[in-house]
Amino acid sequence: MDRQVIRTKNFAVDAAQFILDQAHNALGERNEFRLALSGGNTPAPVYTRLAAIGHDLPWDLTRITFGDERCVPPDDRQSNFRMAWETLLAPAAVPEKSILRMRGEIDPQTAAQEYQDQLDFLAAQRGEPIYRHDLILLGLGDDGHTASLFPGTAALDETIRRVVANFVPKLDAWRLTFTLPLINHARHICFLVGAAKNADLIGRVLEGDPQFPASRVNPSAGEVTWIIG
């Protein structure tokens, strides 16, 4: 695993430029850009900036997926899709056919299976055993979770499925999430971590402390970049 750590005072600007550069690389090599968005609050200004600088991107050649989703309707304030829609997808006029939304509004198990089936179909079109993202964006929770892979939850131990429904006791809520097999199959992973995140936590994850799910992101044939505000 090749890894780089970028610390920046211009978090949104530099992170958006990084994503745009990755897009141009992928489009140049494969005429497609497979991007998985992360949720929570940190990415919002990055997506807003990306919508502003990415106006000349061929969004019809981009495939937008979501690394995880809350089990709520897409118009719910908690929805990662809603956040992405308001900051990036609508402002950049990303065509609907380029967006693969996790349906948080239906039964979690059904939604996870449906999403995995959709990724498998797209992978098969390219003769791939597992869908390979060009870039997966990830966040870092205060407990070291990433996507919706929370410490001590069942999804962390998944070794076969690519997308699962994961019950999170501390939230008393279901989540939909990529699993480590899917995440670690990506060409490039980028952690977006805001300035307010605990520096000790970041350091321990970067050192590979296994108690934190984020430490288990280790692509077999990919690169990892940390952009820290």
C-beta of 25 vs 73, nearer to ligand 6PG: 73
For residues 209, 212, 216 and 217, what is the CA-based torsion angle, rounded to 10 degrees? -110
> Token match 């502003």: residue?
52
C-beta of 13 vs 97, nearer to ligand 6PG: 13
C-beta of 30 vs 42, nearer to ligand 6PG: 42
Q: How far is the CB of 172 from ligand 6PG (least distance, A)?
A: 15
Closest listed residue to residue 47, CA positions, set 55, 56, 37, 57 = 37
CB 100 within 8 Å of CB 36: no
C-beta of 140 vs 224, nearer to ligand 6PG: 140
Burial of 100 per CB tally in 10 Å (0-12, 13-18, 19+): middle
d(CA 39, CA 60): 22
Q: How far is the CB of 202 from ligand 6PG (least distance, A)?
A: 12
Q: How far is the CB of 139 from ligand 6PG (least distance, A)?
A: 2
C-beta of 141 vs 222, nearer to ligand 6PG: 141
Concatenate the DSSP letters of all residues of 161-200 into one string.
-SEEEEEETTTTEEEEEE-HHHHTT-SEEEEEE-TTS-HH
Q: How far is the CB of 184 from ligand 6PG (least distance, A)?
A: 16
Point out which residues bind ligand 6PG (CB under 6 A).
Answer: 38-42, 68, 80, 139-141, 145-148
- C-beta nearest to ligand 6PG: residue: 139
- Dig out the tokens for 34 from the structure: 């497979």
- Dig out the tokens for 89 from the structure: 């997808």
Q: How far is the CB of 56 from ligand 6PG (least distance, A)?
A: 28
C-beta of 92 vs 190, nearer to ligand 6PG: 190
Q: How far is the CB of 186 from ligand 6PG (least distance, A)?
A: 15
